[in-house]
Amino acid sequence: MVIRTLNIAEDPEVENSGFLVQLAEQLNSPRVGLMYDCGHAYLCGKGQAQAILEKMLPYVIGLHLSDNQGVHDDHVGLGMGNVPWLELMNMVKQKAYSGAIIIETGSLEDAYASIRQMNECLDIPLH
């Protein structure tokens, strides 16, 4: 079971990573993990994407990646907005993350660009 953050784009004041970590700790099950959404986390304010990932990372089994300008949840390709995704991916690499990576974009072009960015950053073979 994967538990994901609320849609922070609708209410930027709602930052529920602490609640999610508490829930994962209380359930204490290898079948339950968290989905980190970098776009939602970035909308919480400067430095929050990193702080939220740091808090959630021990329980993360899925990364939901998209980029935005910090105002709306735009779902543009990685590197096309302001989300510090390279820094976030370095944090993930340091923890030897091996879970799912979900890229959400609004176009096929952005999806391919994001896949290329991820391949360069994480050295993920695509075939």
Average pLDDT taken over every residue of the chain:
86
Identify which has the larger pLDDT, 126 or 24.
24
Among residues 2, 1, 79, 95, the alpha carbon closest in space to that of 38 is found at 79
Q: How far apart are CA 99 and CA 71, in angstroms?
A: 28
With a cut of 50, say whether residue 13 has pLDDT above it: no
Give, as one character, the DSSP assignment of residue 84.
-
Instruction: Give Cβ neighbours of residue 42 (< 8 Å, ≥ 6 apart).
Output: 48, 49, 68, 70, 82, 83, 84
* Confidence check: pLDDT of 124 > 80: no
CA geometry: angle 102, 104, 107, nearest 5 deg: 140
18-56 pLDDT, tens digit each: 888 888 999 999 898 999 999 989 988 888 899 999 999
